[in-house]
A and B are shown apart, each in its own frame.
Chain A
Amino acid sequence: AQSVTQPDIHITVSEGASLELRCNYSYGATPYLFWYVQSPGQGLQLLLKYFSGDTLVQGIKGFEAEFKRSQSSFNLRKPSVHWSDAAEYFCAVVTYNQGGKLIFGQGTELSVKP
């Protein structure tokens, strides 16, 4: 069955430091991949998405993600974290068989130290 794994439940980084959030998926073909961010008490906001082509995708708020087929990974990165980036981040995959299911990882909570 298709699945998405975010190995890190909680990550703390210092403001200005670089960030990498991990995401691994299990799927027989190349899926559509997404990263969403959820601030406290807010809904989900799309950061970026990948379908095909260039394996490095740029998103909003200075985020980028790299698709690595050999590792079944789609890690999210940011070169310099801002305090406002503190939030929960979700990796998601759309499987377009069986009518398509949008499946989320467990989420990674990001804390930013001043």
Chain B
Amino acid sequence: SQTIHQWPATLVQPVGSPLSLECTVEGTSNPNLYWYRQAAGRGLQLLFYSVGIGQISSEVPQNLSASRPQDRQFILSSKKLLLSDSGFYLCAWWFYGGSNTEAFFGQGTRLTVV
């Protein structure tokens, strides 16, 4: 079965520190992978998506970057965190299969930048 793992679940980081959030998928190959951020009262904002290894599309200019070093691994990074990077980060992938098309989500990472 398809599963998605995201860690850590919570993170408190000081301003200016680096960030690395990891997401891995099991039970599928060559998935479309996504990183979203959910800030309070602002819904789910698509940050990055990837359709394959090394292929990253950025949706919004920001202090973050993403990488896909392996087919089922998607990493969200920052060299220097800002206070505005605080939020809830979700990794997702979706399976395109006609009527079976569905998206799967990680449990999310609550990031607080202090």
Contact = CB atoms under 8 A, between A and B. Distances in A.
Interface of A: 6, 9, 32, 34, 43-44, 46, 49, 51-52, 90, 92, 94, 96, 99-107
B90 A100 contact: no
Contacts of A9: 41
Contact of B102 (A6, A49, A90, A100): A49
Nearest to B43: A106
B107 interface: yes
Interface size class of B (residues with CB under 8 A): 20 to 34
Interface of B: 32, 34, 36, 41-46, 49, 51, 90, 92, 94, 96, 98-99, 101-103, 105-108
Contacts of A32: 101
A46 B101 CA distance: 12
Contact of B103 (A34, A96, A105): A34
Contacts of B106: 43
Contacts of A52: 99
Given A43-B108, A90-B44, A107-B43, A102 B103 contact: yes
